Amino acid sequence: MFSAYKDTIEDGDLVLGWMTRTAIKPIVVEKKEGLFNTRYGAFPHRNMDKYGAQLGSMSKQGFIHLIHPTPELWTLSLPHRTQIVYTTDSSYIVQRLKIRPGSTVIESGTGSGSFTHAISRSAGPTGKVYSYEFHEERYTLAKQEFERHQLHNVVPTHRDVCTDGFDIENTEVNATAVFLDLPAPWTAIPHLERVIDRSVVSRVCCFSPCFEQVVKAVQALQEAGWVDIEMVEVAAKRWESRLEMKRSLDEAITRLRDVKSRRETGLAKRNARIKVEAETGVEEEESDERDAKRTKIESGHRGYNPWGKGQKIKEGDESFEWTEVSKCEQEIKSHTSYLLFASRLPKLGEEVFDKDMCVRPYSERCPEASTESTEDATKTEA
């Protein structure tokens, strides 16, 4: 469901009901009796036919969009059982760990399953994701969720990896990428040696909200022989780009004059109305409504509203001149977690490079060959 797209919505499918950018609700479709209730109205499941369609409510007072689920949208709509890894971090982690179709990945700290969906898609049907969770209730809920979402390449396991390690009975893991979202990742790092693939470069990422956790994890990685250790903090900013209509100086002056004229006219009418009401004791509401309608009709043909609302013009309309503008969102996202990356060289690589990634001297790499060369040189001299 999350790895392949389809057009038709069938009974039992997952649909994401998009109401606003911050309000996306997951819906499990029940064609016979299902009803999705929102502040925009009620939406019968039987009317949900196509992904991407706009669906009106029964009262015709609102609508939602029926969106096909993706890991990114699921992250914004899933039920939170723990703090989750958002797309800003998960996309960078997947790239740094080089997770690709066919990869074998270890994830410790399943939690709400947000990151699991992302790496499951990246690993593809030929890959494998071994996800560990020590909390039994969260493990059970995550396992049921993975089955409903048809994440067939995910193998959930209930275990405390910090004490019991990552070994799975009758299974050879051989992972090339490891993600640790744990309170004490330094206690799990020594257990990785048994489950990573030592024939290639393996990579690990520790997701830690506190700097003290990072310090202890770095020490554990160094002691376990991991190299190329680096800490990263992702600070994302959303930029809004759009076309802004160009305004000439004459138009601006005309608009300001119209605003001033209308303000003066409005004040004069208001004072006159107050004077009439004081003399007669009768409010002139109907007269004001007629004036408002008349003003709207008279100003409509001019192509803009002097009060600033303007005529409805489609962005990019070739009848007007436009310029490209952009701005950063006002509310910047705060700190989520530190990302600690490291690499484990294959056994052959350890023979060539030391812990500082410097090439070892030939005498250290091939001590036997070095000894033979020395003996040959001695014989030659003799």
pLDDT digits (tens, 9 = 90+) for 251-289: 788 888 988 988 898 888 888 888 887 877 766 554 545
Beta-carbon contacts of residue 360 (< 8 Å; ≥ 6 apart): 351, 352, 353, 354
Task: Report d(CA 41, CA 24) in Å as an integer.
Answer: 15
Q: What is the DSSP string of 100-143?
A: -TT-EEEEE--TTSHHHHHHHHHH-TTSEEEEEES-HHHHHHHH
SS3 assignment, position 173: coil
Task: Report d(CA 117, CA 110) in Å as an integer.
Answer: 10
pLDDT, position 217: 97
Q: How far apart are the first and last CA of the chain?
A: 77
For 69, the token pair is: 């689920």
For 344, the token pair is: 């484990």
Task: Report d(CA 28, CA 353) in Å as an integer.
Answer: 53
Exposure string over 134-159, b if 16+ CB within 10 A, otherwise e: bbeebbebbbebbeebebebbbbbeb
pLDDT, position 193: 94
Q: Say how many C-beta atoms besides its own lie within 10 A of residue 107's C-beta.
A: 26
Exposure string over 76-105, b if 16+ CB within 10 A, otherwise e: bbbeebeebbbbebbbbbbebbebeeebbb
Residue 153 C-beta-side C-alpha neighbours within 13 Å: 24
For 193, the token pair is: 């040696």
Q: How far is CA 353 from CA 136, 231, 270, 344, 365, in A?
A: 42, 22, 86, 11, 9
pLDDT, position 22: 83
> Tens place of pLDDT for every residue, the chain, 382 residues?
687 888 999 999 999 999 988 899 999 999 988 999 988 889 999 999 999 999 998 888 889 999 999 999 999 999 999 989 999 999 999 999 999 999 999 999 999 999 999 999 999 999 999 999 999 999 999 999 999 999 999 999 999 999 999 999 889 999 999 999 999 999 999 999 999 999 999 999 999 999 999 999 999 999 999 999 999 999 877 888 888 888 778 878 888 898 898 889 888 888 888 888 787 776 655 454 555 555 544 444 444 444 445 566 777 778 778 888 888 877 665 567 899 999 999 987 666 666 666 766 756 656 665 555 555 555 555 5
Pairing mode of beta strands 227-232, 154-158: unpaired
Q: Residue 321 has what DSSP assignment?
A: -
Distance of CA 23 to the CA centre of its chain: 15
Q: Say how many C-beta atoms besides its own lie within 10 A of residue 365's C-beta.
A: 13
